[in-house]
Structure 1
Amino acid sequence: MDNPYVFITRKLPAQIVKKLETNFRVKMWESEDEPIPREVLMQEAKEAAGLLTMLSEKIDAAVMDEAKNLRVIANLAVGFDNIDIDAATNRDIFVCNTPDVLTETTADLTFALMMAAARRIVEAADIVKNGEWKSWSPLLLAGHDIHHKKIGIVGMGKIGTSVAKRAKGFDMEILYHNRSRNPMAEELYGARYCSFEELISTSDFIVCLAPLTPETTKMFNKQSFMKMKTTAVFVNASRGPVVDEAALHNALISGEIAAAGLDVFEQEPIDAGHPLLSLKNVVALPHIASSSIDTRTAMMNLCIENIELVLHNNAPKTLVNKQLAK
């Protein structure tokens, strides 16, 4: 295919896009904040040999049926639940993601979110900014210690292992639940594999880093929160739909758990009137776990490299549907 067409579904920095423009015809949705309308995506996909997509775009069979020339989808994320992988594989379309380059940055944010929720950092900052701090007092905004407490990590992949590394530095006892054992986390950080039930009922901090699958959807529900300690802090930095948000709200207002730190939500962006956002014991972030300048730049570069490799008839670096590897 001569001079293939590549479409980017969100505005990226010019220096990043310029790398693609050397070899391909490139166009992108010119908004940094607003997702591309589906009808525009469907239209642009018709000619595209490559798509550089965000998690906000649903790339399903309907899109692929329009995209007769499509050879590669590069998703700017580790997760790829926004893409119908089976549909892509059946059409010989390579799907690529951005693992590894964001591991440490995401672990940083996950641990920071846990600390912010436990130590009431956002609440405290607001009191200062709003002129509500009147004097020092013994239990002013007293939160929960992190050091020497028990952390339970659900999803002990690369990011979970990096969170365990940070927890080890805080002298925390580390439990984890995963689809398979993680010998490295056990050997290096003393992590102990356990059942989901033991983890949620005994941990002081429950951190979800599990991928979104049919099995993990709403795994944190009414029954899960009822089993947690009343002093537990729940953190979700994976995907919003792993949590029943109504159940989480009830757990927080009833005192079943102490606090929550959330970087992801069932619907994104979350509505400003959502009940969770009215709670002082919730720290809510706009899905920024990997959002450092260095890491996001590395993610963009990896997407571009994968597109270039595929469109030049080479194997991509980070292939999701490995059945297509030759």
Structure 2
Amino acid sequence: MSPTRPRLLLVQRQTGPVMQRIEQSFSIAPVPDHRLTTRELLDMARAFQPQAIMTATGLPLRGDDVAQLPDCVKVVATVSVGTDHLDIPALHARGIIVTNTPDVLTECNADMAMLLMLAAARRAGEYTTLMRAGWGRGLAMDEMLGTRISGKRLGIVGMGRIGRAVARRARGFDMKVMYSNRRRLPADQEAGATYFSTLTDMLPHCDILSLHLPASPETDGMINADLLGRLPRGAIFVNAARGALVDEDALIDALRSGQVGAAGLDVFRNEPNPDPRFLELPNVFLTPHVGSATVETRTDMGMLAVDNVEAVLAGRAALTPVAA
């Protein structure tokens, strides 16, 4: 491979089309076959001296870590929308441009939220367990009943791109859409949804609550026992955003007591080793942080990250830079 090609450090393999493009345009170090630690990433960066790093969620680069990056690094491109794993001010202070991959995963993440909603409401996890055990008997008319989501009241917390995409899907189920957001949307984006200026005012009206916020110090643990207690008893809770938004002790207590009737969760505080208590609860449907996990979306994310890297290394503006 030509030594004149820019050096790109990958923290994990990308889809076939993305890897093909990278291998044609960059010099790359051997791609790890396991989930890297921050220490391993820094060791690789010092050894390989890359101009660019393509990283992902779950691999933190904080202040002390950023200080240890070699001076040759010009851009850190995360193949994700979320950037809570990166210390953006510290990276910018070193003159390193940070990019992410918004928009391209909106539809798939909204699909995942609906999957979680339906699976939690219709007891998909329990039905799968029953089938894998052999089924073996007919169910009574009043046995293992789920909840119909059609016509229910859906509360969306965070009405950004993904929240609005979930709202569009919910209208196909004739759901009444409500939302809580830092600011009210223009009427064309609101599309008939009911705005609540405070989350506490919205919660008592929610048959289903779905989170679509980024993680930040301000949102850490925001869904706590008090807020869960304001939901109608038996409400369904969905989180396809970030595990850090939720006080998991409070959610587990609410699921055990029936205050929350069921939950669909794609994200957790301690990934990839979520609280084992979730696994003991039959009224929880769990997936391993795979909201964007389709061939189409992961390819689009990887391609956008490469677009950003190429732009920055060529002296052009990044397509999707992350501000401080």
Q: Same fold (TM over 0.5)?
A: yes
Q: Is the 8 A contact 1:20 1:308 kept in 2?
A: no
Please say which of residues 35-44 and 101-110 is displaced more in the overlay.
35-44
- Structure 2 contact 101–304 (Cα < 8 Å) conserved: yes
Q: TM-score, normalised by structure 1?
A: 0.93
Q: Give me the identity figure in percent.
A: 36
Q: For residues 206 and 305 of structure 1, what CA distance do their matches in structure 2 show?
A: 36
Cα offset, 1:133, TM superposition: 4.5
Describe the superposition over 1:220-258 as per-residue Cα deviations: whole angstroms up to 9, x where unpaired: 111111111112000011110110111111001111110
Decide whether the 8 Å contact of 1:9 with 1:28 is kept in 2: no
Q: What runs of 5+ residues in structure 1 fail to find an aligned partner?
A: none
With structure 2 as the length reference, what TM-score do the two structures score? 0.93
C-alpha root-mean-square deviation of aligned residues, in Å?
1.7
User: Relative to structure 2, which stretch is displaced further, 282-291 or 174-183?
Assistant: 174-183
The residue identity in structure 1 corresponding to 2:65 is: V
Three-state SS of the structure 1 residue aligned to 2:260 is coil
**2:210 alignment partner, one of 207, 210, 213:** 207
Partner of 1:303: 305
The total of aligned residue pairs comes to 318
Whether 1:134 and 2:137 are equivalent positions in the alignment is yes
1:190-229 deviation line (CA, Å, top 9, x unaligned): 1111020122221000001111112211111111111111
1:260-298 CA-to-partner distances (Å, cap 9, x unmatched) read 110000000124x61111100000110011111110011
Unpaired segments ≥5 residues, structure 2: none
**Cα offset for 1:139?**
1.7
1:107 equivalent in alignment to 2:121: no
Partner of 1:41: 41
Structure 2 residue aligned with 1:79? 82
Aligned to 2:10: 8
Match of 2:182 in 1: 179
Residues 28 and 73 from structure 1, CA distance in 2 versus in 1: closer, same or farther, beyond 3 angstroms? Answer: farther
1:96–1:320 contact (8 Å) kept in structure 2: yes
Cα deviations by residue, 1:112-169 (Å, 9 ceiling, x for unpaired)? 1101001111211221221234113112221111011100000100000000001111
Query: Counterpart of 2:232?
Result: 229
Q: 1:263 aligns with which of 266, 269, 274?
A: 266
Residue pair 1:101, 1:299 contacting (<8 A) in 2 also: yes
State the SS of the aligned residue for 1:295: helix
Corresponding position of 1:316: 318
Q: Is the 8 A contact 2:38 2:65 kept in 1?
A: no
CA distance in 1, matches of 2:85, 2:11: 13
Structure 1 CA distance for aligned equivalents of residues 247 and 120 of structure 2: 19
